[in-house]
Amino acid sequence: QVHVVESGGGLVQAGDSLRLSCAASGRALNSYAMAWFRQAPRKERNFVAAIEWRSGIPYYADSVKGRFIISRDSAKNTMYLQMNSLKPEDTAVYYCAGGDPSNPMTPPGYDYWGRGTQVTVSS
């Protein structure tokens, strides 16, 4: 069963903004934290941002601090990633994840993963 689904990716120019959404359902609703990871072609999957669901405490990779904002709407069971001042190096497939990680900034402990949404930033 699919428990998290991403949407909102697209093709934009450098400096533009996008907002990604991740809708959670089923067992993913019990997640302690949810996060965004991204993976560029032939590169490792990297942490982008995470949020503790109940408290709303956010975590960010240094590369996106000051540009991206993670948030959640508990009533809608939806997590968002507002991406501003996009750069070509932000180009990647963005994945939504949920689970009970000991460290919200690393993949271990995230049991639910979306299929990904493509973000392409042209120069």
* pLDDT tens digits for range 100-123: 999 999 999 999 999 999 999 999
The token pair that represents 49 in the structure block: 């941002």
Report whether 121 contacts 91 (CB < 8 A): yes
CA atoms lying within 13 Å on the CB side of residue 122 = 4
Mean pLDDT is lowest, of 12-16, 25-29, 54-58, for 25-29
What residue type is 85 in one-letter code? S
* pLDDT tens digits for range 27-48: 888 899 999 999 999 999 999 9
∠ CA 15-20-26, nearest 5°, is: 170
Q: In the prediction, which pLDDT does 3 show?
A: 87
Task: Say if residue 98's pLDDT is above 90.
Answer: yes
